[in-house]
Amino acid sequence: MNLTSPSQVKAWCIENDFHPNKTMGQNFLIDRNALVAIVDAGLEPVGGVASPRVLEIGPGLGVLTEELLSRGCDVVAIEKDPILAERLAGSLGNPERLSVVAGDALDFINHKSALPGDRPFDCMVSNLPYQSGTRILLELVLSRSIAAITALVQSEVADRLVAGEGSKTRGLAGVWAQLDYDVEIVRKVSASCFWPRPEIGSSVVRLVRHERNADFSEEERDVFHKITKKAFEHRRKQLGSIFRDMIQSTARAEELSNEDWKNLVKGLMGT
């Protein structure tokens, strides 16, 4: 089956009485140009690595999986839908380089369940489900376990991830992601590139881990996450009114850069 052919994808779903689940965010990528762009972007940070080990979350019918395998990647694909998980390997010819894991990606990210193999992932490349994509990305970012993350997400999510200080879209997701990753939007992807067609557009976002905050201790990181979370829960208030005796500032949460937050934490902890 040509996984970028809308007619063939629809025909398979009809023939197998499979109905894409909106609650699970099942929107299948059916555009070849967008597919190549995503995989190009995802593998760029690991250029030169022989047989890169790639994590894919939400493979669906396997359009990204197939392209990654064709480029010599070892792929571990986590699929929550039991029907799609059961069919994936067989539909691609049971390739040796593919391991399919049925389950919730968050269980594996948080180490509640084990993934096959003991070799670290070189990158993650995924078309993340709309409903849980933001949470999955943030859990990966907090784990700092993967050096390069490329994901297809809702455009509004991508905009929040890249937003800098002073931006109206600046939020907790961007602050947390940018602490350890350089974040960029690689390209926009039209809603017409998916079936079923979602109501809004998507973007390919890439996060590449940096080491600029390697001196930030685990205790400082814990305080960083706690105060930024509280600040953005009351984003319309000035920091001085949120934290009262702790912080003297008329600024609001979105006005601070990550360096400002980092210095604030160090000042509070005397480090």
pLDDT digits (tens, 9 = 90+) for 175-234: 999 999 999 999 999 999 999 999 899 999 999 999 999 999 999 999 999 999 999 999
Task: State whether 197 and 258 are in the same domain.
Answer: no
Task: State whether 132 and 228 are in the same domain.
Answer: no
Amino acid at 241: S
Number of domains the chain contains = 2
- Beta strands 28-29 and 194-195 are antiparallel
The span from the CA of 130 to the CA of 212, in Å, is 31
Which single residue is written with the structure tokens 């968050």?
A: 106
The CATH number covering residue 90 comes to 3.40.50.150
The CATH number covering residue 231 comes to 1.10.8
Task: State whether 138 and 227 are in the same domain.
Answer: no
pLDDT, position 247: 86
Residues 6+ positions from 213 with CB-CB distance below 8 Å: 179, 180, 262
Task: State whether 42 and 78 are in the same domain.
Answer: yes
Task: Tell me the helices (H) and strands (E) count for the chain, helix number first.
Answer: 11, 9
The span from the CA of 155 to the CA of 25, in Å, is 15
Which of 163, 191, 209 represents a domain boundary (last residue)? 209
Task: State whether 44 and 134 are in the same domain.
Answer: yes
**At 106, is the pLDDT very low, low, confident or very high (cuts 50, 70, 90)?**
very high
pLDDT digits (tens, 9 = 90+) for 8-59: 998 988 888 888 888 888 899 999 999 999 999 999 999 989 999 999 999 9
Task: State whether 138 and 163 are in the same domain.
Answer: yes
Which of 171, 192, 209 represents a domain boundary (last residue)? 209
Is the residue at 74 inside a domain?
yes
pLDDT, position 131: 81
Question: What integer is the mean pLDDT of 96-101?
Answer: 96
pLDDT, position 214: 92
Task: State whether 242 and 262 are in the same domain.
Answer: yes
Task: State whether 61 and 146 are in the same domain.
Answer: yes
- Please give the share of the chain, as a percent, with pLDDT higher than 90: 82
- Render the burial of 215-238: b for 16+ CB within 10 Å, e for the rest: ebeeebbebbbebbeebbeeeeeb
pLDDT, position 138: 95
pLDDT, position 245: 82
Is the residue at 91 inside a domain?
yes
pLDDT, position 82: 94
Domain span at 99: 6-209
Is the residue at 139 inside a domain?
yes
pLDDT digits (tens, 9 = 90+) for 230-264: 999 999 999 999 998 888 899 999 999 999 999 99
Q: Given phi > 0 = left and psi -120 to 50 = alpha, else beta, which region is 103?
A: left
Task: State whether 111 and 35 are in the same domain.
Answer: yes
Please, is 119 exposed, middle or buried when counting C-beta atoms within 10 Å of its C-beta (0-12, 13-18, 19+)? exposed
Is the residue at 1 inside a domain?
no
Task: State whether 117 and 55 are in the same domain.
Answer: yes
Which of 162, 192, 209 represents a domain boundary (last residue)? 209
Task: State whether 193 and 113 are in the same domain.
Answer: yes
Task: State whether 91 and 134 are in the same domain.
Answer: yes
Residues 6+ positions from 96 with CB-CB distance below 8 Å: none
